[in-house]
Each structure stands twice: as C-alpha cells, then as structure tokens.
Amino acid sequence: MEMNPQQMADRARQFQDRVVPQIDEARQNLVDLNDRVVRFIRANPGTCLLGAVAVGFLVGRIASRR
C-alpha cells in the first residue's frame, strides 16, 4: 500500500493526538500516586518503617531458606 508523505504525516499526527493525552494522563496518575504515598509515609512514619522492616525480614527469611 503506497502512502504519500502527506498521508504519513497525517497518520503520525493522528497517532500523536491519540497517544500523547494518554501518556500525559498516565504521568499525572503516577505523580498523584507518588504524592499520596509520600504523604502517607510522612503521616505514619512508625507504621511504615515497621512494615518495611517486616517486609525485609520476610524477604530475608525466604532468601535464607533457599
């Protein structure tokens, strides 16, 4: 199928118009998630530290059993 440069440019523009908003939305979602996680950690430092130690302990336990 032959495509002239104008058609290719149009297709590229359509693809860009379709994909760029999704990428922006995904980036915004990630930024929001990061903000929420950081806010939760700062609000509950002891709980998060204990949870992290527990997770590390479990991983170390599993790794030492193998």
Partner 1 sequence: MTTFPGASGNGSPQDPQGGGFGQRVDHIGSDAQQLWSDARGAVADLGQTLDLRGRVQRNPYGMMAAAVGVGYLLGGGLFTPLTARILRLGLRLAALPLVKDELLGMAESAFQDYQSGRGIGGAGPAGTASANAASAGTPRPPTY
Least distance to partner 1, CB of residue 6, Å: 23
R_g of the chain computed on alpha carbons = 23
Report how far residue 52's alpha carbon sits from residue 30's, in angstroms, rounded to the nearest whole number.
21
- What lies within 8 Å, CB to CB, of 40 at 6+ separation is 48
Binding of partner 1 by 32 (CB under 8 A): no
Tokens 């929001």, residue?
A: 32
Least distance to partner 1, CB of residue 31, Å: 15
Closest CB to partner 1 among residues 19, 52: 52
Binding of partner 1 by 33 (CB under 8 A): no
Q: Which residues bind partner 1 (CB under 8 A)?
A: 37-38, 41-42, 45, 48-50, 52-64, 66
